[in-house]
Structure 1
Amino acid sequence: MRLCDLREKEVINTCNCRRLGCVVDLIVDMNKGCVQAIVVPGPGRFGGLFGHDSEFIIPFECICKVGPDIILVDICEEKFLHQCV
């Protein structure tokens, strides 16, 4: 599967059934050639009008299922929410 295919999929947290957004980037281990995590934009400032100042970095182990339209993850959102630099 390619990154452009993942960007079309919505990420849903199964803990609270909340939509997190779509995948914007991947973190890849170049030595092993495997995906370590997916990156999803965090909550936007002022309802998303002024961009995002944080992002969810979701480890590959937390992905439950990749379907045709969505990616199901099982995370505690506060733990995986990081501020953008």
Structure 2
Amino acid sequence: MVKLSEMSEKEVINIRDGVKIGFIYDFEIDLENGNVVAVIIPRPGKILGLFGKNNDLIINWKNIVRIGTDTILVDMDIE
């Protein structure tokens, strides 16, 4: 089992192209059943949630392929 706080310390990598996407800074949670629905990663140009457009990358939980020791692998097209 992995704690949400531990997931924020892991780098997210897209397995389609090997690109390092960044680090999770927030989670979307379904309050009715307590499940994580998505993870949220800040896009370039946004520093600590300030001074930038709200163009966060939202990754649905179903796109997470594996949660490893140091990384989280996702499989998705990023526009």
TM-score with structure 2 setting the length: 0.84
Higher strand share: 1
The answer on whether the counterparts of 1:14 and 1:73 sit within 8 Å (CA) in structure 2 is yes
Question: Is residue 15 of structure 1 aligned with residue 22 of structure 2?
Answer: no
How far apart are the structure 1 equivalents of 2:65 and 2:52?
25
Question: Is residue 73 of structure 1 aligned with residue 74 of structure 2?
Answer: yes
* Aligned residue pairs, count: 75
Q: CA RMSD in A?
A: 1.7
How far apart are the structure 1 equivalents of 2:42 and 2:67?
18
TM-score with structure 1 setting the length: 0.79
Partner residue, 1:63: 64
Runs of 4+ in 1 over 6 A off after TM superposition: none
The answer on whether the counterparts of 1:20 and 1:41 sit within 8 Å (CA) in structure 2 is no
Q: Percent identical across equivalent pairs?
A: 35
Higher helix share: 1
Partner residue, 1:82: none
Name structure 2 gaps, 5 residues minimum: none
Name structure 1 gaps, 5 residues minimum: 79-85
